[in-house]
Amino acid sequence: MEKLFIFDTTLRDGEQVPGCQLNTVEKIQVAKALEQLGVDVIEAGFPVSSPGDFNSVVEISKAVTWPTICALTRGVQKDIEVAAEALQYAKKKRIHTGIGTSEYHIKYKFNSTQEEILERAVAAVKHAKKYVEDVEFYCEDAGRTDNVYLAKVVEAVIKAGATVVNIPDTTGYCLPWVYGEKIKFLMENVSNVHKAILSTHCHNDLGMATANTISGVLNGARQVEVTINGIGERAGNTSLEEIAMILKCHKDLNIETNINTQRIYSTSRLVSNLMNMPVQPNKAVVGRNAFAHSSGIHQDGVLKNRESYEIMDPTDVGIDKNAIILTARSGRAALKHRLSVLGVEVDGDKLDIIYQEFLLLADKKKDINDDDVLLLAGKERASKERIKIDYLQVTSGVGIKPVASIGVMIAGEKFEAAATGNGPVDAAINALRKIINREMNLQEFTIQSINKGSNDVGKVHMQVEHAGVIYYGFGANTDIVTASVEAYVNAINQFVK
Ligand code: KIV
Ligand code: ZN
């Protein structure tokens, strides 16, 4: 079996998605879950882009033990120096530097020439080598870069000391066999290619990221850049769980990873919940319906022999159908244990806050499942927000005009208002607007129930525009009107500081 290195960029390319931003504590939580999952490299951020990103790379470097911590830079000296400083505590560190190599980038982005870009590429690698041994170089938009020129760049950066060369299909344009041929061309035409590892980095704009990645691997790439749930710029990146399970299901490919696949599901839920980014129900491997058989013929087949219709065992990805369901009689220890299995470590006051919320939910809903437990962890974060809902009362129904009254605490002071609306959510939001008198527009509003049943928790995602900026809010509650107001308040809390 040949080893394939897994480079996870959930905390960099994934976190670039509008509305998915995490704070440092949350990023550490994800980094630790990635470590337990068995990824080889964690791309922890782009340190020069903001003090928050810099700090996250520092803290993740301290918190994580065995994966390599990688920091992204442009092929610019200052970026490289800042990245080196951010990585100072990492036990194993890598600088990921690079530049655009396609005609589009060279001509329009840099107003430059192929020769000059080649020189800048070599200079960037040499500069990074002054600070770290492990330097990865990306040829941005390699997917649309001429193969002969690409080979020249790859050869030059390896000669300059690059240990890994990343061949991104930045725009998600390549067809699988074209991307595979690109890697093959490099393997055959770069004289020093054996001194470095070629890496795939495929975007999913045309839904081909996973196919392109596998095609790259079959042609010689030995590192793949992936994200949990395939999150990332635009249509996202290649998803880690798909690559890990393809290689597990197709042992004949003779390629293995270090991924502990039984941690896939919990890591997926953790990332989805922290980033407020729902996983589409039919998402391969981790979607709610990925193992749900609804047609009678399929159900009959699976009952007779699981393998008739299932190519993966749900337990292989960590879906434990027999997992203990928590109820109102479960204690703190059981809740703490379940959270820990899902990658969330809490103690002391934090556990107390989550436990109180747990008891409130358990009163309304008989069985508390993993999604509920992760949502409760989110309530602990909401408890620190400046604006909090104190009470909400809504009257609506047939033949009456919906009316809502609301009380909110702002920095410890109580404010109250009432309003009508064309529905219960509209009335509640109108009342809230009377208290928070800022210009804001609700742009997007989605409601999703977690499982099934009228007593279930509803999740609400909202986008609220204020002063030309979009803020993302999230709420979850068995009362859908309350969940909607929670989501609105969550968004407001991001601009009313
Ligand atoms: O898609 C891309 O080209 C990237 C690079 C910065 C690696 O994310
Ligand atoms: Zn990318």
Band (125; pLDDT cuts 50, 70, 90)? very high
Residue 159 has pLDDT above 90, yes or no: yes
Atom of ligand 1 nearest to the CA of 141: 3
Q: Give nearest CA residue, ligand 1 atom 6.
A: 140
pLDDT of residue 487: 92
How many degrees, rounded to 5, is the angle at CA 492 between CA 486 and CA 497? Answer: 125
Tokens 């609105």 locate to 488
CA of 225 to the centre of ligand 1 (A): 10
Q: Which residues of 376-393 are buried (b: 16+ CB within 10 A; e: fewer)?
A: bbbbbbbeebebbbeebe
Name the percent of the chain lying above pLDDT 70. Answer: 95
- Parallel/antiparallel/unpaired status of strands 458-466 and 2-3: unpaired
- Parallel/antiparallel/unpaired status of strands 403-410 and 413-420: antiparallel
Atom of ligand 1 nearest to the CA of 140: 3
Q: What is the pLDDT of residues 132-157, one digit of tens each?
A: 999 999 999 999 999 999 999 999 99
Q: What is the pLDDT of residues 59-93, one digit of tens each?
A: 999 999 999 999 999 999 999 999 999 999 999 99
Band (293; pLDDT cuts 50, 70, 90)? low
CA of 231 to the centre of ligand 2 (A): 10
CA of 170 to the centre of ligand 1 (A): 6
Distance CA 175, CA 304 (A): 39
Task: Provide the 3-class DSSP secondary structure of residue 240.
Answer: helix
pTM of the model: 0.85
pLDDT of residue 298: 67
Residue 459 has pLDDT above 90, yes or no: no
Lowest mean pLDDT: which of 112-116, 144-148, 227-231, 481-485? 481-485
7, 53, 138: residue to mutate for ligand 1 pocket, most atoms within 8 A of CB: 138
Band (295; pLDDT cuts 50, 70, 90)? low
13, 15, 101, 179: residue to mutate for ligand 1 pocket, most atoms within 8 A of CB: 13
CA of 338 to the centre of ligand 1 (A): 36
Please report, in angstroms and rounded to a whole number, the separation of the first and last CA atoms in the chain.
54
Q: What is the pLDDT of residues 341-399, one digit of tens each?
A: 777 888 888 899 899 989 988 888 777 877 788 888 776 666 678 899 999 999 999 99
Lowest mean pLDDT: which of 194-198, 244-248, 302-306? 302-306
Q: What are phi and psi of 209, to 5 degrees?
A: -60, -45
Band (20; pLDDT cuts 50, 70, 90)? confident
Residue 324 has pLDDT above 80, yes or no: no
Distance CA 493, CA 410 (A): 10
pLDDT of residue 152: 98
Distance CA 88, CA 69 (A): 10
Q: How many CA atoms lie within 13 A of 145 on its CB side?
A: 30
CA of 327 to the centre of ligand 2 (A): 42
- How many C-beta atoms lie closer than 10 Å to residue 25's C-beta? 11
Task: Provide the 3-class DSSP secondary structure of residue 307.
Answer: helix
- Structure token digits, residue 175: 């067809």
Q: What is the pLDDT of residues 416-436, one digit of tens each?
A: 999 999 999 999 999 999 999
- Parallel/antiparallel/unpaired status of strands 5-8 and 223-226: parallel
Tokens 């960590």 locate to 318
Tokens 């991001």 locate to 494
- Laid out side by side, the sheet with 469-477 consists of 441-449, 458-466, 469-477
9, 43, 79, 166: residue to mutate for ligand 1 pocket, most atoms within 8 A of CB: 166
Q: Give nearest CA residue, ligand 1 atom 1.
A: 170
Q: What are phi and psi of 70, to 5 degrees?
A: -120, 140
Distance CA 231, CA 346 (A): 26
Residue 322 has pLDDT above 70, yes or no: no
Q: Give nearest CA residue, ligand 1 atom 7.
A: 138
pLDDT of residue 453: 67
Query: Please, where are the H alpha helices in 296-367?
Result: 296-304, 332-341, 348-364
Closest alpha carbon to 5 in 251, 259, 260: 259
HEC string of 91-141?
Answer: CCEEEEEEEECCHHHHHHHCCCCHHHHHHHHHHHHHHHHCCCCEEEEEEEC
Pocket of ligand 1 (CB under 6 A): 13, 138, 140, 166, 168, 170, 201, 203
3-state helix, strand, coil in the chain (%, to 5): 45, 20, 35
Distance CA 487, CA 440 (A): 14
- Parallel/antiparallel/unpaired status of strands 458-466 and 441-449: antiparallel
